[in-house]
Amino acid sequence: MATATLTIDLDGVLANWRALGVFAGRGCQTGAVVKANAYGLGADRVARALMRAGAQKFFVAAAEEGAALRLAVGDGPEIYVFSGHMAGDTEMIGDLGLIPLLNSLDQVTRHFEALPGAAFGVQLDSGMNRLGMEAAEWEAVADILIGAGPRLLMSHLACADEPDHPANAAQLAEFRRLTDGVPAPRSLAATGGILLGPDYHFDVIRPGIGLYGGLPFDTATPVVRLSLPVVQSRTVVAGETVGYAGAWRAEADSQIATVAAGYADGLMRNLSGRATLWADGLPCPVVGRISMDLITVDVSHLSEVPKSLDILCPEQGVDDLADIAGTIGYEILTSLGTRYQRNYTGGSV
């Protein structure tokens, strides 16, 4: 097989979901953010495993994602749509029972006119200035919306991965100012907010990256392994170059393995000459440029050329690779390509 294998440990996802729920404690419901195809890991399989474990609230970015998720999980769970009720979404929202998190007065009008009586939530801007009603908008229609019974009032923290950042306390105070006394469930905390403590938890927490083994949940169970098959190996003699532009030159005779993956699979070109692959715990440096479909790796120190090399594994997690690439674990996960053979382990309860 000439495509890489991405192994997803569903038991690890469930362990992280339960562990983050423990932070929130009794009386707080643990939802799950499965947008962007569960951060690249397969929303259908991830959500079904979480549902069997007790998850009843899922969050997606767009109605189209919600429609696909509804087909996977059936009629039971609540599916919230962060982008709200956009033009063209009415049929999906109505037919599939999605719950838009209304972000503006335009969306309020659209939802109430097109789907009177249908479920909805409200997203409030508490200081991030990205999505959500600003205070004046909310105050103008709060009585109407509260009377209609929103399923959820939510906001999102801009700096939750920096626990001491003053924006966290400021957003918490603003969210409380806008929602205290409103008879509806409230949600402020994604993964970073969960770790800030109980003041941020309210009624529903929304873990995302922490489910999939990423920071800022630094005690998360690792969830993914990415194994790249060796397509060919060769001896490169001292002085010869490898790859495009001859970017790497062998200083001594070297054994070079070519593995099947590249920037078309989400492994960025800026990992060239910087990343490490692993063979049963032994590091093997990437040499030469990462190309669209192939990566060349120095395996001279191994006793034999392996059938595959790992780029995500216990020795190098998503945030380790992100540090090398100068990005964040979110981007590593959500960039994982469609050509990978996705294998799932665990998931039973």
Q: HSE-up of 91 (CA within 13 Å, CB side)?
A: 1
d(CA 62, CA 85) in angstroms, rounded, equals 9
d(CA 171, CA 2) in angstroms, rounded, equals 49
d(CA 1, CA 282) in angstroms, rounded, equals 23
Helix or strand or coil: residue 22?
helix
Element (H, E) at 311: strand 308-312
Q: Which of 39, 244, 330, 340 is catalytic?
A: 244
d(CA 219, CA 242) in angstroms, rounded, equals 39
Element (H, E) at 29: strand 29-30
Contact residues for 338 (Cβ-Cβ < 8 A; gap 6+): none
d(CA 279, CA 68) in angstroms, rounded, equals 37
- At residue 135, φ and ψ (nearest 5 deg) are -55, -45
Catalytic, 57? Answer no
Cβ(190)–Cβ(31) under 8 Å?
no
Burial of 342 (0-12, 13-18, 19+ CB in 10 A): middle
Element (H, E) at 18: helix 10-24
Query: Residue 286 carries which DSSP code?
Result: E
Contact residues for 80 (Cβ-Cβ < 8 A; gap 6+): 31, 57, 58, 59, 60, 98, 99, 100, 101, 121, 151, 152
Q: Which of 35, 39, 57, 80 is catalytic?
A: 35
Catalytic residues: 35, 244
